[in-house]
Structure 1
Amino acid sequence: MTILLTIVLSFLVFALIIWALMHMRTPRFRMERRDFLKGLEDAIAGQADDNEWRVLVGYPMRHDPELEELRLECLEIEEDEYTGMLPYLFTEVGLERLRDVRRRLLDLINQQNNTL
């Protein structure tokens, strides 16, 4: 009887663990427009380091095509104007191009707020 009870309890615990693992979701990183704006402003103000910039532009924004377009433009700016020197990671031309991206992002955020 004890062996049968042990086998049943073991099976139930095992089944519970398998069920829990099947229903767990993998964590997803999803940057919203406001978060991207904050990262851009930090880079423009000289308050972002290399790691912060990598996080900002390193993940595709599949959930927001307009934001993905701006992210790709930031990667182009990085390719042309990135210095990696603190406090400003970009040349003056690069900072001006980032300011332009920031203006367009603010327009997108304002359009989004007006439609809500």
Structure 2
Amino acid sequence: MNILITLCLSFAIFALIIWGLMHMRTPRFRMERAQFQQGLEDVIAGQADDNEWRVLISYPMRHDPPLEQLRLACIKIEEEEYTGSPPYLFTDAGLQQLRDVRERLLALPPQNEAE
């Protein structure tokens, strides 16, 4: 009798763990426009390090196509103008191009919350 109870309890606990794992969502990082803008401003002001720049451009922004286009523009700027030396991670031309990206970001129409 004890063996049957132990087996049933073990099965129930195992089933509960499997059910919990099946319904668990993976964590997602979602950068919003305000965060992207702040990151750009930090890079332009020389207050960001290489890690902060990597976070800014590394995650695709599928939730906001215009923001994704700006991220891709930043990657192109990085390919040509990135120095990586603090405090300014970019050449003067690169910083100006990042200022232009920031202006394009500020000119975007507000994002719908329903999307």
Q: TM-score range by the shorter chain?
A: over 0.9
Structure 2 length as normaliser, TM-score?
A: 0.94
Out of 95, 109, 112, the position equivalent to 2:110 is 112
Matches within 5 A, 1:1-116: 1-108=1-108, 111-112=109-110
**Greater fraction helix:** 1
Cα distance, 1:107 vs structure 2: 1.4
- Aligned residue type for 1:67: L
Structure 1 length as normaliser, TM-score?
A: 0.93
Distance in 1 (alpha carbons) for counterparts of 2:60 and 2:16: 35
Question: What is the Cα-based RMSD across aligned positions, in Å?
Answer: 1.3
Runs of 4+ with >4 A deviation: none
Percentage of matched positions with identical amino acids: 71
* DSSP 3-state at the match of 2:84: coil
Distance in 2 (alpha carbons) for counterparts of 1:38 and 1:107: 15
Unaligned runs of at least 5 residues, structure 2: none
Unaligned runs of at least 5 residues, structure 1: none
Distance in 1 (alpha carbons) for counterparts of 2:18 and 2:58: 33
